[in-house]
Amino acid sequence: MRAYSWNFVLKRFGLLVLIVWTAVTINFIIPKLTPRNPLREKLMEQASRSGYIEQGFDEMVAAYEAKFGLDQPLWIQYVRYLGDIMRLDLGVSIANFPKTVMELVGAALPWTIGLLTTATLIAFTLGTILGALMAWPKSSNFVKYILPSFLILGAIPAYLIALILIYFVAFQWKLLPLGGGFGISTIPNLSLPFMLEVMKHSLLPALAIVLTSMGGWVIGMRGMMVTVQGEDYMTFGEAKGLTDNRLFFRYGMRNAILPQVTGLALAFSFLVSGSVLVELIFQYPGVGTLLARAISQLDYFMIYGIVLIIVVCIAIAMFIMDMIYPLLDPRIGSGGGG
Amino acid sequence: MSRFSLFWRYIRRNWTLGAGLGILVFLFLFTVIGLFFVDSKVDPYPLAAPAGVPPTLAYCPPVEPDCEDPKAYPFGTDGQGRNMLAVAVTGTWMTLQIGLLAGLIGIAAGSFLGFTSAFYGGLYDAVVRWMVDVLLTIPGLLILVVIASSIGGRSITVTGMALIIALISWRGPARVIRAQVLSMRERPYVLMARLNGMSGLDIVFRELLPNLLPYLGAALVGAVTAAIFASMGLAALGLGPLREPTLGVTIYWVINQSAFLRGLWWWGAVPITVVALVFIMLFMISIGLDELANPRVRRSE
C-alpha cells in the first residue's frame, strides 16, 4: 500500500529541481559578472612562462572563445550551458587538459561518498544513542554530566581536529597513516588486503568528522527525549509496568528519533563543507582534495563542475531522505502537502 | 540592589554565559595588551624574525650562541619568519573583524528580509521563503568558493572577504527571524494594537521589535560563528587574504608548508588554540543567550 501522495512526491521533486537549477544558474552567472577571462588568463600564464608573447595572441584567444562558445549572446550561452549539463558534460579541466571534469570527479566521488556516509552513519548512531541516554533519568552520572564536556569539540571546525589528530596519532605516535587513500606503493585492486588498507587510511578522516558532528546529534536527541518523556504515553507505559528497556527503545527513542532524521537531511550541507576540508588535510583522494587543487591552479571549469556535482548529490540525498521519512512517520507524506 | 550585583547573580546562575563572556574578555585583553609588545606592521609578516625558532624567551642566533641581547619569541616563529605572538595578536583581531562585519551585515539584511516577508506575506513572502530554503540547502562554502575564486583570485583583502561572506550570511537569520515574526504576528497583543489603531510602523517598532531582541542576539552570535567558520574554510582552501596574518590564512600556510611534518608544531598550535577558544566562546555565549531567551530552559538558583 502506497504511503505517499502524488502531491508530496511532486513537491519534493520540484524542490530538487529548483535547487539544482539555482546552483547551475549561480555557476553560470557569477563568472560572467567578473571582468576576468579565464582563457585569456591561462594563455597569458603560459605565454609568460615561456618568456615571450607569441604573435597572434588575440587570435588565439578569439579561436578558443569560439570553440567554447563564449562569443555568443548571453542567453544562447545559457541555453547551451543547460544543454551541456543535461548531457552531463561539465567541460574540460584547464589544468589537466584533455581530461574532462566528469572523468576526474567520477574517480574521486566514490571515495568521498564512502567516507561521508560511513562517518555520518557512525556519528548519527552514536550521537543519537548517547543523547537518548543523557536524557534518560536512569543512566549513570558519568553519561549525564561528564560526557557532555567532550561535546564542546563539536564547536571547533572539523579540519582543526583533523590537524590535531594528524599531529598526534599519525606523526608522533605513528599509529595510523598520514594520509592518502591507500599506501603510496599499492596498486588499487579489489582484494581483501587492499580493502583493509583503505579502511586503515580512512580511519582518521572518519574520526575527525565523527568527533565534530556527533555533538549536534547528541544535543538534538537529548532535547527530543526530554520532550517525549513528558508525553502521556510514556506515563501510561510506565504505569502498565513495561520494562525499562522496552520503554526506552520502543516508546522513547522511536518517537524522538523522527526530528533527528529531518535534522540529518538538513545537516547535509554542513557535513559536506566540513568534510571537504578534512579531505584536503589528509590528502584523501576524494572530491575535497580535487577542489583544493583546482582552486590553487585556478582551474575554473573544475571548480564550477565540482561545486555543481556536490550540490546535485546533496539535493538527491535530501530527496531520498524525504522519501524515507514517511516510512518512519506515516502521518507525513500521505494526505497531501508535507 | 545595584545593577552590577544583579548582573553577577545572574552570571552565577547562567555560568555558560559567564564562561563565554570571560573568554571574550580574555581575548580582548590579550589583543589589546599584546599590541603594546609587537609592531603590528612588521612582526606578523614574513622575514620579521629568523625562521623556525621554537617558543623561547631567550633566543640567540646559532652563529653566536652567547649573544648579549637575546630576543624573546614566546610563541616562536614560523617557517617564513613571522613572529607567532604577533600573528596571534593581530590575526585574532582580523578574524573577529571579518566575523563581526559579515555577521552584522547578514543580520541586518536577513532580519529585514525575514521581517518584511513575514509581516506582509503574500507573493513576496512565498518568493523569499523559497529563495532562503533553496539557498540554505546549497553549502555556503561552495557558493563562496565560486564567488571568491571568480572575483578575487589571489588578491582578496580582509574587508573584501568579509563582504563576500556577507553575501550568504543573511540566509540563516532570514529564516529564523521570519519564523519568529510569523508566530508573533498572531499573538493577542499585536491584534490588540491593531484594533487600537496603531499604524503598521508603530506596531513594528513598539510591539514586535522589543520582543525580537533575544532572537536577534542569538541570531547575531550564530551569524558571527558561521561567518568565522566560512572565512577559515575559504582561507584554508587558499582563497583568503594570503598576505595578511589572519588565523585562517595561517592555517593555510601550515597545511601548505607541511608545518607538522617538519616538526614546527607551534606554527599550527597557535592558530588552532586561538580559533578553538574563539569557537568555544561563541558556543558558550549562544548557549547562555538561549537560556536567557527561552524561559523553559532556565534553572532555578
Average pLDDT rounded to a whole number, residues A314-332: 79
Residue of B23, B136, B138 to mutate when probing chain A, most A C-beta within 10 A: B138
In a domain, residue B3? The reply is: no
Name the residue range of residue B97's domain.
15-48+91-293
Considering only A63-77, A306-320, B45-59, B76-90, which range has the smallest mean pLDDT? A63-77
Closest CA to A256 of A161, A168, A128: A128
Residue of B147, B167, B176, B237 to mutate when probing chain A, most A C-beta within 10 A: B237
In a domain, residue B112? The reply is: yes
Q: Which amino acid is it at A135? A: A
**Number of CB pairs, chain A paired with chain B, less than 8 A apart:** 117
Residue B11: its pLDDT value, please?
78
Nearest chain B Cα distance for residue A17, angstroms: 10
CATH number of the domain bearing residue B193: 1.10.3720.10
A311–B contact, CB cutoff 8 A: yes
Residues A28-54: tens digit of each pLDDT:
887 777 666 666 776 677 677 776 666
| Cell matching residue B149 | 575564486
Is B299 buried (19+), middle (13-18) or exposed (0-12) by CB count in 10 A? Answer: exposed
- Tell me the pLDDT band of B46, cut-offs 50, 70 and 90: confident
Residues B98-124: tens digit of each pLDDT:
999 999 999 999 888 888 888 777 888
Question: Which of A33, A156, A298 is closest, CB to CB, to B276?
Answer: A156
Residue numbers of A between 168 and 187 with CB closer than 8 Å to B:
171, 178
Residues for chain A: how many in total?
A: 338
| Phi, psi (degrees; rounded to nearest 5) at B59 | -110, 130
- Position A255 pLDDT exceeds 80: no
In a domain, residue B77? The reply is: no
Residue B297: its pLDDT value, please?
56
Nearest chain A Cα distance for residue B9, angstroms: 23
Mean pLDDT, rounded, of chain B: 82
Average pLDDT rounded to a whole number, residues A308-326: 84
Coil/strand/helix, residue A1 = coil
Alpha-carbon distance of B161 to B29, in angstroms, equals 25
Q: Which amino acid is it at B207? A: E
How many Å separate Cα B220 from the centre of its chain?
10
Residue A69: its pLDDT value, please?
62
| Chain A residues touching residue B254 (CB < 8 angstroms) | 163
In a domain, residue B69? The reply is: no
Residue A37: its pLDDT value, please?
67
In a domain, residue B289? The reply is: yes
| Phi, psi (degrees; rounded to nearest 5) at B76 | 80, -175
Alpha-carbon distance of A102 to A107, in angstroms, equals 9
SS (H, E, C) chain A: CCCCCHHHHHHHHHHHHHHHHHHHHHHHHHHHHCCCCHHHHHHHHHHHHHCCCCCCHHHHHHHHHHHHCCCCCHHHHHHHHHHHHHCCCCCECCCCCCCEHHHHHHHHHHHHHHHHHHHHHHHHHHHHHHHHHHHCCCCCHHHHHHHHHHHHHHHCCHHHHHHHHHHHHHHHCCCCCCCCCCCCCCCCCCCHHHHHHHHHHHHHHHHHHHHHHHHHHHHHHHHHHHHHHCCHHHHHHHHHCCCHHHHHHHHHHHHHHHHHHHHHHHHHHHHHHHHHHHHHHHCCCCHHHHHHHHHHCCCHHHHHHHHHHHHHHHHHHHHHHHHHHHHHCCCCCCCCCC
Average pLDDT rounded to a whole number, residues B193-216: 76
- As beta bridge partners, residue B115 has none
| Cell matching residue B287 | 548557549
Residue numbers of A between 152 and 171 with CB closer than 8 Å to B:
152, 155-157, 159-160, 163-164, 166-167, 171
| Chain A residues touching residue B282 (CB < 8 angstroms) | 155
- Tell me the pLDDT band of A321, cut-offs 50, 70 and 90: confident
A265–B contact, CB cutoff 8 A: no
Closest CA to B272 of B253, B292, B286, B291: B253
Distances, alpha carbon B197 to alpha carbons B190, B191, B200, B202, B209, in Å: 11, 10, 9, 10, 18
In a domain, residue B44? The reply is: yes
Coil/strand/helix, residue B82 = coil
pTM, rounded to two decimals: 0.84
Residue A71: its pLDDT value, please?
64
In a domain, residue B61? The reply is: no
Contact B138 A311 (CB under 8 A): yes
Alpha-carbon distance of B14 to B11, in angstroms, equals 5
Mean pLDDT, rounded, of chain A: 77
CB A297 within 8 A of CB A2: no
CB A212 within 8 A of CB A274: yes
CB B215 within 8 A of CB B293: yes
Highest mean pLDDT, choosing among A127-136, A241-250, A297-306, B137-146: B137-146
- Locate the chain A residue with the closest alpha carbon to B266: A167
In a domain, residue B286? The reply is: yes
- Locate the chain B residue with the closest alpha carbon to A19: B134
Alpha-carbon distance of A25 to A308, in angstroms, equals 10
- Position A275 pLDDT exceeds 90: no
- As beta bridge partners, residue B73 has B56
Give the number of domains in chain B: 1
Q: Which amino acid is it at A279? A: E
- Tell me the pLDDT band of B301, cut-offs 50, 70 and 90: very low
CB B290 within 8 A of CB B218: yes
Residues of chain B contacting A, Cβ within 8 Å: 130, 133-143, 145-147, 149-151, 153, 229, 232-233, 236-239, 251, 254-255, 260-261, 265, 268, 272, 275-276, 279-280, 282-283
A338–B contact, CB cutoff 8 A: no
Nearest chain B Cα distance for residue A15, angstroms: 8
